Structure 1
Amino acid sequence: MRAAALLVAMSAATSCSMSGDAGPEDQVNRPSAQAVRQYGIALPSWDSDDYAGPQAGAYVASIAAAGATWIQLNPTWYQRAPQDGEMHPTKQTASDASVRHIVRLARRAGLRVLLKPHVDLPGDQDRADIRPRDAPRWYAAYARFIGHYADLARETGVDEFAVGTELAGLSGDRRPWLAIVQAVRAKFDGTLVYAANYDEYERVAFWDVLDLIGIDAYWPLADRPTTDVAALRRAWNPILRRVGRFSASRGRRVLFTEAGYVSQRGSTTEPWAWDISKVDGAAEQAAAYEALLASCTGQSWWAGVHWWMWDDWPGAAETPRSLSYSPHGKPAERILRRWWRPG
């Protein structure tokens, strides 16, 4: 199917399922999206039953105990190669039943929920490299994928939904994304966001039809390992000025849909990297948490942060817990508690 035909078909299906003639432009700027500051922690899943496993309740409870008010959930589908036109669930994909289960646990713990489905590639390949040979075929497959989770988001009553994450090779394609967002709006009436990588957000072509600008905030803050919070805060200053101007130009607040640092020496030099060194960097991780929260909390355009990530599931970790992104049980968790649970 040609791109134009695909868009017509998607738009027609959407217009039949929406009440009235309101498009996505008529549904943005909801008070909840504008007023709520999100104190979030991501809990990704790497297996079909993680979210229904025996550790799920303990993880949710410990996230709430750290002062979080939001939890982020990340069911993932996979495509075999960057140029492929399809993505599929695998045995690593969280089952729908497990997602329903952990949403119930989150509600009981008093947490709001961001459902942020991912599309990933095998191994260490970056989803930003996805550039399908047959773009209309890929967008049709993606519409089915994201539509499935929009249905699940509506069914489970989650608060916020991400229409995509770090698809930098595609997020400049305005027309197909407008159709996707409109189709999602017809299914889910909560807050919508897209999670752009820190070097992608200025090229995303459809912020005007979303409620929030999402940025995965992995900017490098130093050129050598450091625990100097003041220096890290100085590094944030020009970044935040630029993001603040962008927020104003688009009329949307900015949510850091991900931010995180491994507890390895040098984590502030490459926050996106899972393996920087084998040397403990818990103090550097904590300094980075402090610098981000101290720098961003006073910004009126800042809608909050979802820290990547809480804990790996038993048997899933490729990085030792002492060196992982998790702040749980480390000095960084004390930073969270001080900012999120003062007094």
Structure 2
Amino acid sequence: MTGSGGPITIMKYKILFTVPSALVAGVVATAVTVGDGPLLDLRDRMLGTDTRNPSRSRQVAASPGAVQPARWKPGMREWGVNVYYVNSPRDDEAHVRAKAQRMMRYLVSLNANAVSINFPFRMAGPTSSEVGAIPRRTPTPRRLGIVLREARAAGLRVTVRPLMDETNLVRTETEWRGAVQPASRDGWFASYRTFLSPYLKVAADEQAATFVIGTELNSLQADRRWRGLAAWAQRRFPGELSYDMNWDSFRTDRRSVPFRRIGLDAYPPLGLPDDATVKQLALGWKNWLDGMHDGRPSRILLSEVGIAAQTGAYSAPGDWVNRRRVDQTMQARWYTAVCWVVRKNNMRGLYWWMVDFDTDPANADPERSARLSFAGRPKTEQAIRTCFRGRTPERHPTVTPTRTPQQ
């Protein structure tokens, strides 16, 4: 889709889709001119949530629950979900705890054994030498600790994953988090250390299993400063350190970062028609993965994988900008195919993208929710339960189509 100003390419997905330049300009103007309030509005529109009025969501008890047995143990495959946690300024700590309990119960109901808690931070612009919290939107370490504690109490393996917000970055067709060029890299890495320090501490205090030190920072991946940052972080966090690569750089750059655990954020455009079968999708995934590894696919962890629940998604799985007709069956087929491939290749696991922390899954509207979310979409939820329960058949399974109303 193009606008009067011409097409703008969202580079994370590497020329998979275009959006009107007017839309991107509006996003940038909002971030630059009016501060935190419009950032909240922007996020709500993108995620399809209303975080400004927590009372609209069904509440759960805020009292601590009993600690559950560990659902994951070393050597097990990680069956996880990415939860995107942006602080809601009107929430008190009891409300944060209630939302965390509600979310973890939902993940357990999906048979998950792991969760990755994502939260945003920002650069002032693509050449800034500083990073930091987004006022009122980045969770404080204390609030993040509440969420981590509830995740661990639910028996889930816990990953902490800071994720650079792109609101201040997308100004031209080549700009995203993977294209930043800090004026001073020494300054950027020093600032990043300062930002990460309290979050590493709370992750250690709450016994998180993994801390993702960087995500999709393509333009910085070969920098020698990662080695020093990794050594510094390991002294503060005794668990596993990780780096998650975007799929367009995984094959060529994965040896450039000094981490034993490297995740793959995967949104491959298979170019298949909307009525493609699970078998066709699985074969497409297999062929794509064959070019992503060195003959040992079992070493690959899909740290972020998903697809928009809308028509045309098999050609642009990660399209979070355009809103086409909702198609839950397409999303469910993709999930089923990915799970089949992970099992057949004995891969380390996967983390579905995504569900928003503020979402009440019991009341999520499948027609109005963010396209990349699966909450409230029963076919996709069932595909996740089947996958995580270990009942994906050896032969390619099928997903029965259903009629989806026009958006």
TM-score (norm 2): 0.69
Secondary structure of the corresponding residue to residue 148 of structure 1: helix
Deviations 1:305-334 (A, max 9, x none): 11111235269x9x9644522222321110
Q: In structure 1, what residue type is equivalent to 2:118?
A: N
Residue identity (%): 26
The aligned runs of 1:30-45 (5 Å cut-off) are 35-45=75-85
Show structure 1 runs of 5+ residues with no match.
Answer: 1-31
Counterparts of 1:196 and 1:246, CA distance in 2 = 18
Aligned residue among 78, 103, 109 for 2:122: 78
- Structure 2 counterpart of 1:340: 388
- Structure 2 counterpart of 1:275: 321
Q: In structure 2, what residue type is equivalent to 1:58?
A: R
Alignment length (residue pairs): 305
Deviations 1:213-265 (A, max 9, x none): 211011112254344211111211222222331657xxx82211100112111
Following superposition, the deviation at residue 143 of structure 1 comes to 2.1
Q: CA RMSD in A?
A: 2.6
Cα 1:286–1:157 shift into 2, 3 Å: same
- Structure 2 counterpart of 1:18: none
Does the 8 A contact of 2:178 with 2:216 survive in 1? yes
Does the 8 A contact of 2:265 with 2:304 survive in 1? yes
Following superposition, the deviation at residue 33 of structure 1 comes to 10
Counterparts of 1:71 and 1:65, CA distance in 2 = 13
Does the 8 A contact of 2:104 with 2:154 survive in 1? yes
- Structure 2 counterpart of 1:143: 193
The aligned runs of 1:1-343 (5 Å cut-off) are 35-48=75-88, 52=96, 54-90=98-134, 91-122=136-167, 125=170, 126-173=176-223, 175-204=224-253, 209-245=258-294, 247=296, 253-300=299-346, 302-311=347-356, 313=358, 321-330=368-377, 331-342=379-390
Following superposition, the deviation at residue 277 of structure 1 comes to 3.5
Counterparts of 1:277 and 1:160, CA distance in 2 = 34
Cα 1:270–1:231 shift into 2, 3 Å: same
- Structure 2 counterpart of 1:22: none
Does the 8 A contact of 2:123 with 2:168 survive in 1? no
Following superposition, the deviation at residue 203 of structure 1 comes to 3.8
Following superposition, the deviation at residue 132 of structure 1 comes to 0.9
Counterparts of 1:247 and 1:142, CA distance in 2 = 33
Counterparts of 1:314 and 1:287, CA distance in 2 = 23
Counterparts of 1:282 and 1:208, CA distance in 2 = 37
Q: Which is worse superposed, 145-154 or 97-106? A: 145-154
Secondary structure of the corresponding residue to residue 309 of structure 1: strand
Does the 8 A contact of 1:266 with 1:284 survive in 2? no
Q: Which is worse superposed, 197-206 or 253-262? A: 197-206
Does the 8 A contact of 1:263 with 1:285 survive in 2? yes
Counterparts of 1:326 and 1:312, CA distance in 2 = 11
TM-score (norm 1): 0.81
Secondary structure of the corresponding residue to residue 243 of structure 1: coil
Secondary structure of the corresponding residue to residue 235 of structure 1: helix
Counterparts of 2:191 and 2:273, CA distance in 1 = 42
Q: In structure 2, what residue type is equivalent to 1:169?
A: S
Show structure 2 runs of 5+ residues with no match.
Answer: 1-71, 171-175, 392-407
- Structure 2 counterpart of 1:14: none
Does the 8 A contact of 1:289 with 1:335 survive in 2? yes
Does the 8 A contact of 2:226 with 2:257 survive in 1? no
Does the 8 A contact of 1:280 with 1:322 survive in 2? no
Cα 1:160–1:246 shift into 2, 3 Å: farther
Secondary structure of the corresponding residue to residue 268 of structure 2: coil
Cα 1:123–1:268 shift into 2, 3 Å: farther
Question: Counting helix residues as a fraction of each chain, which structure ranks higher?
Answer: 1
- Structure 1 counterpart of 2:67: none
Following superposition, the deviation at residue 158 of structure 1 comes to 0.3
Deviations 1:254-279 (A, max 9, x none): 21110011211122211221134330
